[in-house]
Amino acid sequence: MWLRENRRTIWQSLATSVRIKNRAQLVRYIAGRLRKSRVAITDDLVHVSHYGYDDRIDWDEYIIVVEGFGVFGYSDEPCPSASEPTQPAEIADTGIVSALSQPRQNTEPAQARTSAAAKNASLRRVGQKTTAKRKPPASVAAKRAV
């Protein structure tokens, strides 16, 4: 999953984008970034919840909040906590089992999920915009010429 920190503008925020593999790595990354606070960041302090779709960057976003600090950033995928079960418990109800065995219909909007290639392309475009040098205004160029 991609993680970007909360910054003043979307472009500054995307410049901090990093690839995170799992919840443990997410907690370690946040603890490293907030190490000056001298507070031990644990899995219990980090909360990830659905935030909405951001059409500026084509991400279905999840907000990452650290208790006591506020919004840390955003990710493009959910990251369940270690205490939440990743596999469903044994189900005794046959109605639920039969419902789960049927093909799943896509209930999400078509734009909500994007491919990794599209996300990488958007990050490359942002990188090109932030690294491109701007020409100085004509008044500055004239002063330098003198």
Task: Return the closest-CA partner of residue 52 out of 62, 67, 42, 43.
Answer: 62
For the chain, the structural domain boundaries read: 2-101+111-133
Residue 43: CB partners within 8 Å, gap ≥ 6? 23, 24, 27, 81, 82, 83
pLDDT digits (tens, 9 = 90+) for 83-120: 544 444 444 445 444 555 555 554 444 444 556 666 66
**For residues 34 and 28, is the Cβ–Cβ distance under 8 A?**
no
pLDDT digits (tens, 9 = 90+) for 43-80: 889 999 999 998 888 889 999 999 988 999 999 988 76
| pTM (two decimals) | 0.55
